[in-house]
């Protein structure tokens, strides 16, 4: 699949923790748009570019398939979405949206290392990342996938431990859980499609990446 004739597309989270900072970066890179009645697509006025506003979970697929040329998404979502086919590549880390995917346990579970999870059930929204972490350490555990409210799983006896995103730790604490080993350190990244844009747009794509890179490095 290729992009719409004559325009580049950048995929950004429609609403949520990455939405505002993603648009700030694009604006700081010199792109201007007006919020139209079209909620899905923001049309950039000063370049042939559209911003596609979607669920963050869809961004890796859209970029991998060439539906979008660039995207801004958390490394956690990118890693979880990896599959056997062509994947989006990371252009650069963006310095925002930082969070950590951690193992967390209730005080009733004796935990020294990932081996303590052997034979237990772990709840997470990130089954692929967690499975790789456990496999690399030779730990055999059952994974139960929850889309949200993972932190309630131990209390409901759905799982003995969880693997969830943490930034301040307040949610864990409120649920009587303690953070243990780190499974993944994550931040927002700029990703690029393996599908080249039409030749007339290649220079624009390169220059947008260049400007974003300038903005990110100026922010230290
Ligand atoms: P969507 O509706 O787009 O699917 P979502 O509910 O999956 O949104 P958000 O909660 O908005 O996602 O989080 C988006 C991203 O922000 C996460 O995938 C992660 O990379 C990052 N993030 C930063 N801090 C946190 C945190 N404390 N908890 C969860 N995600 C965080
Ligand atoms: Zn999501």
Contact 68, 10 (CB under 8 A): yes
168 and 145 co-located in one domain: yes
12 and 93 co-located in one domain: yes
CA of 16 to the centre of ligand 2 (A): 8
Asked if the structure places residue 1 within a domain, the reply is: no
Mean pLDDT for all residues in the chain: 95
Asked if the structure places residue 3 within a domain, the reply is: no
**Domain of 33, in residue numbers:** 8-97+188-218
Q: How many domains does the chain have?
A: 2
31 and 112 co-located in one domain: no
Asked if the structure places residue 172 within a domain, the reply is: yes
- Which CATH number does the domain housing residue 13 bear? 3.40.190.10
Cα 67 to Cα 75, 88, 131, 146: the distances in Å are 19, 11, 29, 28
176 and 203 co-located in one domain: no
78 lines ligand 1 (CB under 6 A): no
Asked if the structure places residue 2 within a domain, the reply is: no
**Residue of the CA atom closest to atom 11 of ligand 1:** 16
**Residue of the CA atom closest to atom 7 of ligand 1:** 56
93 and 50 co-located in one domain: yes
Q: Give burial (CB, 10 Å; 0-12/13-18/19+) of 171.
A: middle
139 and 156 co-located in one domain: yes
How do the pLDDT tens digits run along the chain, 220 residues long?
Answer: 444 579 999 999 999 999 999 999 999 999 999 887 778 999 999 999 999 999 999 999 999 999 999 999 999 999 999 888 889 999 999 999 999 999 999 999 999 999 999 999 999 999 999 999 999 999 999 999 999 999 999 999 999 999 999 988 899 999 999 999 999 999 999 999 999 999 999 999 999 999 999 999 999 7
Q: What is the ipTM of this complex?
A: 0.97
68 and 110 co-located in one domain: no
Asked if the structure places residue 195 within a domain, the reply is: yes
21 lines ligand 1 (CB under 6 A): no
Q: Which atom of ligand 1 is nearest to the CA of 97?
A: 23
CA distance 192 to 198: 14
**Residue of the CA atom closest to atom 14 of ligand 1:** 17
pLDDT score of 220 = 78
127 and 180 co-located in one domain: yes
12 and 89 co-located in one domain: yes
């Amino acid at each position: 699949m290729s992009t719409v004739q004559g325009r580049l597309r950048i995929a950004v989270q429609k609403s949520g923790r990455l939405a505002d900072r993603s648009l700030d970066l694009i604006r700081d890179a010199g792109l201007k748009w007006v919020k139209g009645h079209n909620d899905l697509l923001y049309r950039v006025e000063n370049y042939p570019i559209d911003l596609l506003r979607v669920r963050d979970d869809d961004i890796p697929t859209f970029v991998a398939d060439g539906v979008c040329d660039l995207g801004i998404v958390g490394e956690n979502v990118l890693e979880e979405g990896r599959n056997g086919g062509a994947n989006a590549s990371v252009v650069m880390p963006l310095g925002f949206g930082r969070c950590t995917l951690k193992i967390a346990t209730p005080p009733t579970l004796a935990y020294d290392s990932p081996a303590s999870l052997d034979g237990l059930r772990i709840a997470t929204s990130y089954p692929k990342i967690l499975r790789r972490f456990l496999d690399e350490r030779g730990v055999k555990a059952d994974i139960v996938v929850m889309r949200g409210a993972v932190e309630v799983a131990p209390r409901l006896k759905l799982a003995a431990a969880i693997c969830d995103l943490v930034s301040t730790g307040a949610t864990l604490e409120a649920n009587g859980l303690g953070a243990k080993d780190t499974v993944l350190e994550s931040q927002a990244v700029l990703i690029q499609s393996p599908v080249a844009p039409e030749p007339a747009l290649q220079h624009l794509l390169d220059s947008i990446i260049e400007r974003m890179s300038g903005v990110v490095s100026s922010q230290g």
